[in-house]
């Protein structure tokens, strides 16, 4: 019980917004994050509390504090002027260009399945404060045929 409270816990994924990295109904082992500045990196898969949607979400960290993030009309992502290699993205959504300037102490999150992910690109408040971040996803624990570390 104490380990769960202080170190890790399990989450079940209720949507396909992170396909193919995380499947619908996968169960993940996640570890609590205590130092945001050194623990979160671009590309990490993070569990956070969405005040706007009033639930825990799991998405990939795209923007760090003070980053400028551009989503081009072809769906490609540029961070601080450099194109981001995103091999984990499927079904890249084509549409209007969007620009984000991540405030200090906040992060920006998108799903991997871009055409089927209700993420920061569509939220009224796209930036998640560090205080809302719960954990980093580490392992798929179930189903057993998908057991392994997340990338």
Cα separation, 149 vs 111, in Å, equals: 18
Q: Give the HSE-up count for residue 106: Cα atoms under 13 Å, Cβ half-sphere.
A: 17
136 is catalytic: no
Q: From the candidates 17, 50, 117, 136, which is the catalytic residue?
A: 17
Q: What are phi and psi of 132, to 5 degrees?
A: -90, -10
Q: Give the HSE-up count for residue 137: Cα atoms under 13 Å, Cβ half-sphere.
A: 27
59 is catalytic: yes
Q: From the candidates 50, 59, 117, 136, which is the catalytic residue?
A: 59
Sign of CA dihedral 19, 41, 33, 101: negative
Q: For residue 113, which of 34, 12, 13 has the smallest C-alpha distance?
A: 13
Catalytic residues: 17, 59
């Amino acid at each position: 019980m104490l380990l769960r409270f202080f170190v890790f816990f399990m989450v079940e994924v209720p949507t396909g917004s992170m396909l193919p990295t995380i499947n619908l109904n996968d169960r993940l082992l996640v570890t609590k994050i205590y130092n945001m500045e050194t623990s979160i990196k671009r590309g990490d898969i993070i569990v956070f509390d969405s005040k706007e949607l009033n639930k825990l979400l799991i998405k990939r960290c795209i923007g760090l504090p003070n980053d400028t993030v551009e989503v081009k009309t072809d769906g490609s992502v540029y961070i601080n002027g450099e194109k981001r290699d995103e091999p984990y993205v499927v079904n890249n959504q084509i549409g209007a260009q969007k620009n984000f300037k991540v405030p200090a102490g906040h992060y920006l999150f998108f799903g991997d399945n871009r055409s089927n992910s209700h993420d920061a690109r569509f939220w009224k408040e796209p930036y998640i404060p560090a205080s809302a971040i719960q954990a980093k996803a580490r392992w798929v624990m179930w189903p057993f045929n998908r057991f392994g570390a997340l990338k």
